[in-house]
Amino acid sequence: MTESRKAMIKGIIPPVITPMHADETVNEEELKHQVNRLIEAGVHGIFAFGTNGEGYILSAGEKERILEIVIGETAGRVPVYAGTGCVGTRETIEMSQMAERLGADVLSIITPWFAKASQQELAEHYRAVAAEVSLPVVLYNIPARTGNALSPETVGQLAEIPNIVGVKDSSGNFDNMLQYIEATREMDFAVLSGNDSLILWNLLAGGTGGVAGCANVFPRNMVGIYENFKKGDLAAARICQDNIREFRNCFVHGNPNTIVKKAVAMQGFAVGECRKPFSGLSEAGVKALRETLDAYREKGIC
């Protein structure tokens, strides 16, 4: 791995939603459409079956097929990230080897969930997976969903492993993300924000970008955060960052994954609903989302 880790893991990386038909089967043609739509908007990577891609509810066979489509449609234009983390180490290794075999560029590996794990167990899990693949590995910290949090000390230790190249922090705790940056500052290690509200602040602190669910809805705006920052136009980057506040305010009405997918559907794309039972949105939520998207449309934010 000769490329700088920070140079490799950077920018705005959408966790592409998984379009579905009414019977909850994957809509493969619309998935291709979404991949191209995002790449044409200037994104810096495509993340298959992340949280917004409903990776938590897809079968292993579905993940393999989705990854085949994403890799084929991306055709090397941007790196493809595959969310291969599972509850167990053995299954995570198997899923990661599948992604490597298919031609993914980067593995994003969420912490194990449901059962509580010690920091030593988490570190051993990631070491075992990294030893069985040659692809770059990005750690994924989202304790509100998994019940397990990667400490800054553990991230610092794992950053010493050559093919563990970065971490995505979705804790929503900016100080935690800062501590990841501080613990790895001298190690050419990438820290990505998994919270869309913190992407600009991540970049200002020395991070490298974000895995941005909102990029499914407003890809050009989200790309604008990173591209304007890199050009040194912080005022323009701040405008793009602030632009998503009204949309994120809609998250009070339900599961953010559900709201993101519903928003893309309201924009006229045949992405369907999230798989049950995670597909509900109240009438008040639908109304708020529709009004919010109308306001964005009037402002030309896309």
Tokens, residue 128: 């075992």
Q: Is 206 helix (H, G, I), strand (E, B) or coil?
A: coil
b/e per residue, 244-271, with b = 16+ CB within 10 A?
bebbbebeebbebbbbbbbbbebeebeb
Question: What's the DSSP call for residue 57?
Answer: G
Query: Letter for the amino acid at 229?
Result: F
Around 157, how many Cα atoms within 13 Å sit in the side-chain half-sphere? 13
Q: In what order do the strands lie in the sheet with 164-169?
A: 11-13, 209-211, 190-193, 164-169, 137-141, 106-110, 80-83, 46-48
Instruction: For residue 69, give the nearest of 104, 106, 43, 40 by alpha carbon.
Output: 104
**182-185 own/partner pairs: CB under 8 Å, 24+ apart:** 182/152, 183/152, 183/153, 183/155, 183/156, 183/159, 184/155, 184/156, 184/159
Q: Which residues are catalytic?
A: 140, 168
Query: Letter for the amino acid at 25?
Result: T
